[in-house]
């Protein structure tokens, strides 16, 4: 998955918007009856719908995250309801609240970092066993030794680190920090919408817990938003799997088909193909071939003139220019063709791969690396009267074959047979 800034922003954006919406709703003072009733049922509704959605996609990690958040919500909501109805807290309010502040970030961090690596049923049993064990121990201690447990939880163990601003027990802060660092490391290693949602959701819980008895419906709103973040991340990843090519990070064939249905009246379509790719693969291996495809995709993704690149299949890529003419697009296609042709790829022996970046730079600068290059051929077609996008794409594909016949490494428009300005070997070295 690409790790560009734009992609990272897209990972966090839905969760951040939900977090901001939750913060705004929590600070609304005068709620009418409709919103009061809605916030009372919202967490349960989100759990049922979001949990069912995760179950359908067999996303057990996300399902148990939702269940963990909901259990904490249920326990604390029982306390806040009693407080609103009677004007005082229950006798066990303090110990229940402190247990939730300690165990919620702990279980949230554990389940968020616990990836599905085994059989689905075994994984579900293991997660349920952890949840049951932690819950049973906590319940047993709370029922048998409430005062001793409360004293242990509320004890200030590190006076030098304790601040007057701390609204939670001191033990909960290192647990929140440890979970946040763990989830940050997980996202850094594997940037995904789900991992971003987990980070933002943990921040939302950290904000909401101290406000539980202060701002009405804060718990209902924020727990609902956190569960929505997780469900939205599952939907986001499902969309990416369906519409985005995993190898190159470009939108895939299905995304192209959708885009072609809403192109408007004027547009240009181009088909691009890596020259002699099968021969290159046979010579250098599929790992290097994948590296070449990622390189070509990276170059094509930077096409100017308002173009958008798509992975069509194999070594073929499609380029879409909405609202453009052929004359406007040709210079940009020539620029991108030349950019790929003049780029040298450094190949290294995988057995002697360097252990760190500094050694890698030294090896790439030395004479031990093999330099290769690839070229692409591009066929391009413009929409004309009464031509469907499918026919225009077929014309671009025919122009691509003309570019191959014209010597490769050139751009040929549909109906033309001229050669490109320069012909280069498909691979050197």
Which are the contacts of 32, defined by CB distance < 8 A and separation ≥ 6? none
Q: Which residues contact 309 (CB under 8 A, 6 or more apart)?
A: 250, 251, 297, 300, 301, 303, 317, 318, 319
Give the span between the Cα atoms of 40 and 52, in whole angstroms. 20
- Interacting residues of 232 by C-beta distance below 8 A, sequence separation 6+: 14, 15, 18, 193, 197
- What is the distance between the alpha carbons of residues 88 and 204, in angstroms, rounded to a whole number? 26
| 315 given a catalytic annotation | yes
Q: Are 111 and 124 in contact (CB under 8 A)?
A: no
Spatial distance between the Cα atoms of 156 and 162, rounded to a whole number of angstroms = 7
DSSP string of 270-327, one letter each residue: EEEEETTHHHHHHHH-HHHHHHHHHHHHHHHTT-STTEEEEEEETTEEEEEEET--HH
Instruction: List, edge to edge, every strand of the sheet that includes 376-382.
Output: 307-313, 316-322, 267-274, 376-382, 411-413
Q: Which of 142, 315, 338, 398 is catalytic?
A: 315
What are the catalytic residues? 315
């Amino acid at each position: 998955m690409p790790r560009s800034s734009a992609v990272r922003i897209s990972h966090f954006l839905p969760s951040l918007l939900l977090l901001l919406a939750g913060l705004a709703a929590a600070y609304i003072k005068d709620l009418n009856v409709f919103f009061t009733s809605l916030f009372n049922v919202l967490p349960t509704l989100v759990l049922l719908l979001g949990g069912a959605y995760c179950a359908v996609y067999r996303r057990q990690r996300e399902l148990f995250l939702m269940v963990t958040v909901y259990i904490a919500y249920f326990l604390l909501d029982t306390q806040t309801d009693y407080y609103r109805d009677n004007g005082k807290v229950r006798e066990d309010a303090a110990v229940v609240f402190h247990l939730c502040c300690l165990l919620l970030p702990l279980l949230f961090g554990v389940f968020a970092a616990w990836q599905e690596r085994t059989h689905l049923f075994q994984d579900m049993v293991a997660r349920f066993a952890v949840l049951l064990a932690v819950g049973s121990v906590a319940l047993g201690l709370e029922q048998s030794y409430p005062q001793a447990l409360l004293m242990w939880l509320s004890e200030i163990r590190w006076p030098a680190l304790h601040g007057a601003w701390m609204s939670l027990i001191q033990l909960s802060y290192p647990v929140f920090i440890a979970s946040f660092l763990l989830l940050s490391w997980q996202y850094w290693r594997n940037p995904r919408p789900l991992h971003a949602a987990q980070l933002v959701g943990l921040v939302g819980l950290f904000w909401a817990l101290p406000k539980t008895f202060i701002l009405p419906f804060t718990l209902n709103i924020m727990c609902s938003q956190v569960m929505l973040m997780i469900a939205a991340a599952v939907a986001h990843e499902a969309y990416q799997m369906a519409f985005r090519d995993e190898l190159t990070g470009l939108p895939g064939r299905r995304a192209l088909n959708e885009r072609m249905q809403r192109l408007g009246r004027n547009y240009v379509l181009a088909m691009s193909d890596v020259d002699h790719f099968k021969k290159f693969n046979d010579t250098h291996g599929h790992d290097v071939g994948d590296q070449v495809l990622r390189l070509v995709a990276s170059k094509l993704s930077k096409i100017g003139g308002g173009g958008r690149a798509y992975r069509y299949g194999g070594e073929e890529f499609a380029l879409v220019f909405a609202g453009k003419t052929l004359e406007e697009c040709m210079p940009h296609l020539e620029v991108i063709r030349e950019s790929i042709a003049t780029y040298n790829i450094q190949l290294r022996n995988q057995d002697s791969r360097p252990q760190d970046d500094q050694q890698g730079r030294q090896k790439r600068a030395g004479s031990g690396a093999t330099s290769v290059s690839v070229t692409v051929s591009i066929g391009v077609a413009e929409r004309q009267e009464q031509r469907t996008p499918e026919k225009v794409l077929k014309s671009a594909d025919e122009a691509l074959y003309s570019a191959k016949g014209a010597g490769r490494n050139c751009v040929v428009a549909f109906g033309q047979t001229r050669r490109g300005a320069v012909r280069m070997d498909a691979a050197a070295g």
